[in-house]
Amino acid sequence: MSGSQAFPKLGEQSLEEHGLIHFHLDQLERALSGFDPHAATPDTLRTLAVRIDSFKERLDEHFGAEEEGGLLQGILDALPQAESDVRRIRTQHARVHEALDAARRLARGSDPAEAPALKDELSRVLTMMREHEKEEDALVRRALRQG
């Protein structure tokens, strides 16, 4: 199967995968909405750290599949003019990864004094992810229409 023939399958798989990412985002968002940083205990922070770890593991797989599994290359094959868009997507992957690592470190530290910073960092991660997923979905859809 050539790259152009494989891309529609990769694109459809990516859109399905993004549905899973949205599910995990929703779970993390619910956990964050119920998180009171002023009532945080080491146990609540450790529980949140487990949720962050789970989300991060899933997200690392997702980003790896996109970067190494051919999706981003498939977008470039279908839309050569989208090179700057793909570069921005890759940069966003790195930024989300760094922000999620920072949140994870705060949660794993189990220091209630860090809870407000943790809530702010997680809110930032969620906003970044929602924007990233919307942009990436639109790019995949553009490439699917082109291909």
For the stretch 19-58, pLDDT in tens is 788 888 888 898 889 899 999 999 999 999 998 998 999 8
Place of tokens 């450790």: 46
Largest Cα–Cα separation, the chain: 56
What's residue 7's pLDDT? 67
Instruction: Tell me the two tokens of residue 22.
Output: 């949205």
- The CA-atom distances, in angstroms, between 100 and each of 62, 97, 118, 129, 130 are 14, 5, 10, 10, 14
Check residue 35 and give left, alpha or beta (phi > 0: left; psi -120 to 50: alpha): beta
Q: How confident is the model over 50-100, as pLDDT tens digits?
A: 989 989 998 998 898 888 867 888 889 889 999 999 999 999 999 999 999
Query: Looking at the predicted structure, is the pLDDT value of residue 106 above 50?
Result: yes
Query: Looking at the predicted structure, is the pLDDT value of residue 17 above 80?
Result: no
